[in-house]
Amino acid sequence: MSAAPRLLRTLDLEVSYAIPRSTVYYRMKNDPTFPRPVRMGPRCVRFKADEVEAWIASLPSVAA
């Protein structure tokens, strides 16, 4: 039996990954590479942590 995926709230994306809420909603609507949310109810969505981490890893790094 496999473990259930860890699910993140939008607030978790803001705090842990420094992704502003407005950016999350913008990316949900306009970025096909952004992880698709999991609907928990009519006004409740969660994101799979492993998909979010993979998406962040796929972003180009900024050279300083």
Buried b (16+ CB within 10 A) or exposed e, 31-43: eeebbebeeeeee
Residue 62 lies in a domain: no
Residue 43 lies in a domain: yes
Q: Could you tell me how far CA 52 lies from the centroid of its own chain?
A: 4
Residue 52 lies in a domain: yes
Domain count, the chain: 1
Classify residue 64 as exposed, middle or buried by CB count within 10 Å of its CB (0-12, 13-18, 19+). exposed
Contact 6/49 with Cβ under 8 angstroms? yes
Residue 2 lies in a domain: no
Host domain of residue 22: 7-57
Whole-prediction pTM value?
0.83
What pLDDT, on the 0 to 100 scale, is given for residue 12? 95
For 17, residues 6+ apart whose C-beta sits below 8 A from its C-beta are 52, 56
Residue 1 lies in a domain: no
Q: What is the pLDDT of residues 2-40, one digit of tens each?
A: 677 899 999 999 999 999 999 999 999 999 999 999 999
Residue 53 lies in a domain: yes
